Chain A
């Protein structure tokens, strides 16, 4: 029956491991008038289908075969941007209660359908969800692009209209304020939400915003009371665990994450979080225990992460079992072909091979780790590569990576401590005391030199120096803001240069995102205004 239907052009994917459930859902979807319906029995097959088809709606059963569930699948899709926010993801389940196992608000399905349901109910639900996506089309597209200021404006339009999507827009706006680095506005916004009604997502948002504004204690308090009121709000445990970890309260962090695991034992993200806290305290048997579960659950699934294997390998080496580590890491390297040269995996393997008495293999692994360059590696990976250098006797290379890490994060005293610790572990006691101080001194000298040149009227040279440094050390907010300021001052004094202004704005935005309260940001904004006035006046 080819009845005209608003859904005839919608493409739908049904994912369920039970054949009879698949055909049952298919029958129901058929009554919607959908012509493009695909079915999958497992995640692997579903991911294959994503390569060739753009789906509008995904109906996914919570229980999937092969050690994964619908929530893990959704987290994978969203975190890897396999699907945009415009794609509808509906979780099908026989009971309620899965809503709260979600770790990240971003990874909530658009809706839950409780079995059994009639085709009529399915139709109504899909219809409403399609309408909602239509209303949020602009907002979703800007979210996908990370255009948070745009998202805020678009949400405000919907909030002002006070229609049925008002609260959806509020939820998105709160997150957008945080993502745009407007922590204080976010705190105020969530407080207004809570005054309207203390919804758990608003309380969680308030905690996130407080944390971002630097009020970690306030964030912790908000989360602790949220957990008492909504004991199944798993995201609250996860964030509280992270805050405890940040403030160095490792025992509290583990206690919170453990209690979360008791309520919901299947979250991969939570086991990973436990492993990361235990790594910091050096409790590697705990790391092994947590990551073993993750690796066991994902080993044969497309949802596996190379990083889990690397970290588990590292834990095994630390526990004095380098042979076991080598076995695991070689398995990962040979079976995950696309990640054979993953720098973390290779760095961890280098250490394991060295400790297992195979220096040649260690050397090969290290060169794989460094072949893509080391300057742009994320902090934890750079650290692992530095360790591999030190373990294989390449002290200069190792120290140079560590120096870059210190200079890239001059305020991260925790990281500095770790760096000294690593040097000490490798018998470099003197360097452990000196390296951090030397690296910091170098940055101060660089800043002083730039200031001297600027005072001497060499504005362009001063700006160039700082731009170089800022590009090498994007995490050093002081350098990044100084580079932005120097570029603008050069423009203010020596004349308009669009390329310099663009670069200055990039640095400004990067600093804004990292530390919205940095005092130099106000000076930059002020100077920007003066440039505008000066050149606008010139034109007139």
Chain B
């Protein structure tokens, strides 16, 4: 068995175990532990995704999805893991859009866990239809991104406020996998009353 297969197998096994502990933590209402477990699981997912991206076998399975469902699901999940106020703004969300839901979920989840580290009181997750682009945003009320990170991210360098930088790197890769009619998805980082992470996906 080569290392990659062994790694995939181990990650699978670890996630199964984490799933068991997560159920227990959730049942006893232990938000901190639950968050620790689910965050660890999310980093294992990123590791596997990074491996696929490096082997050029990361493909997007694009289908029609309901952005509001994804945002609501993330919201339900996250509310159980924090005492901060997490809310959704879906007032301008399109009914349907085309994207790979698993990959987009991974990217947004990473942005949310980042925001959880820096937010003071609240986080807002939104989906907005803006001129033929779907913008998924995660906004917190923390100190904002450091100046050198601001703007459109397309240099493909692993940069981040924290951790290994894998999250942002993968976010760019995932955004780039979403293209249609000559337009390609992208990531934007701005500061506006806190850090705002935006994933833009073309129609």
**Interface residue ranges, A against B (CB under 8 Å):** 18, 20-21, 24, 27-28, 31, 94-96, 99-100, 114-121, 123-125, 128, 162-164, 166-167, 197, 199-201, 230-232
26 A-B residue pairs with CB within 8 Å: A18-B16, A21-B16, A21-B19, A95-B8, A95-B15, A95-B45, A114-B102, A115-B18, A116-B18, A116-B23, A116-B41, A118-B34, A118-B77, A120-B77, A121-B73, A121-B76, A121-B77, A164-B96, A197-B180, A199-B62, A199-B63, A199-B64, A200-B63, A201-B63, A231-B59, A232-B59
Residues of B within 8 A of A119 (CB): 23, 26-27
- The answer to whether the Cβ of B72 comes within 8 Å of any Cβ in the partner chain is yes
The reply to whether A24 and B63 contact each other, CB–CB distance below 8 Å, is no
Residues of B within 8 A of A200 (CB): 61-63
The reply to whether A116 and B22 contact each other, CB–CB distance below 8 Å, is yes
Contact with A along B1-31 (1 / 0, CB 8 A): 0000000100110011011101110110000
Chain A residue at smallest Cβ distance from B81: A118
The reply to whether A125 and B12 contact each other, CB–CB distance below 8 Å, is no
Residues of A within 8 A of B98 (CB): 197, 199
Residues of A within 8 A of B38 (CB): 116, 118
CA of A31 to CA of B76, assembled, Å = 14
Chain B residue at smallest Cβ distance from A25: B23
The reply to whether A230 and B59 contact each other, CB–CB distance below 8 Å, is yes
Residues of A within 8 A of B120 (CB): none
Residues of A within 8 A of B102 (CB): 96, 114
The reply to whether B59 and A166 contact each other, CB–CB distance below 8 Å, is no
**Interface residue ranges, B against A (CB under 8 Å):** 8, 11-12, 15-16, 18-20, 22-24, 26-27, 34, 37-38, 41, 45, 48, 59, 61-64, 66, 69, 72-73, 76-77, 79-80, 95-96, 98, 102, 180
Residues of B within 8 A of A27 (CB): 23, 27
Chain A residue at smallest Cβ distance from B52: A97
Residues of B within 8 A of A123 (CB): 76
The reply to whether A21 and B20 contact each other, CB–CB distance below 8 Å, is yes
Residues of A within 8 A of B24 (CB): 24
Among A21, A164, A201, A232, residue most surrounded by chain B Cβ atoms (within 10 Å): A164
Q: Which of A24, A120, A199, A201 contacts B19 (CB 8 A)?
A: A24
The reply to whether B80 and A197 contact each other, CB–CB distance below 8 Å, is no
CA of A31 to CA of B66, assembled, Å = 25
The reply to whether B12 and A94 contact each other, CB–CB distance below 8 Å, is yes
A115 and B15 in contact, given A24-B23, A164-B95, A167-B96 (Cβ under 8 angstroms): yes
Chain B residue at smallest Cβ distance from A100: B61
The reply to whether B95 and A163 contact each other, CB–CB distance below 8 Å, is yes
Among B18, B19, B72, residue most surrounded by chain A Cβ atoms (within 10 Å): B19
Chain A residue at smallest Cβ distance from B37: A116
CA of A118 to CA of B37, assembled, Å = 11
CA of A106 to CA of B180, assembled, Å = 28
Smallest distance from the beta carbon of B118 to chain A beta carbons, Å?
Answer: 23
CA of A21 to CA of B12, assembled, Å = 14
Among B23, B24, B38, B63, residue most surrounded by chain A Cβ atoms (within 10 Å): B23
Residues of A within 8 A of B34 (CB): 118
CA of A94 to CA of B12, assembled, Å = 6
Residues of A within 8 A of B48 (CB): 95
Residues of B within 8 A of A125 (CB): 73
Smallest distance from the beta carbon of A334 to chain B beta carbons, Å?
Answer: 39
Residues of B within 8 A of A116 (CB): 15, 18-19, 22-23, 37-38, 41
Q: Which of A24, A95, A96, A120 contacts B80 (CB 8 A)?
A: A120
Smallest distance from the beta carbon of B201 to chain A beta carbons, Å?
Answer: 12
The reply to whether A115 and B95 contact each other, CB–CB distance below 8 Å, is no
Smallest distance from the beta carbon of B61 to chain A beta carbons, Å?
Answer: 6
Residues of B within 8 A of A199 (CB): 62-64, 98
Smallest distance from the beta carbon of B184 to chain A beta carbons, Å?
Answer: 15
CA of A69 to CA of B41, assembled, Å = 23
CA of A115 to CA of B45, assembled, Å = 11
14 extra A-B contacts, CB within 8 A, seeds A18-B16, A20-B20 = A24-B20, A94-B11, A94-B15, A94-B16, A96-B102, A114-B102, A120-B80, A121-B73, A121-B77, A124-B69, A124-B76, A164-B66, A197-B180, A199-B64
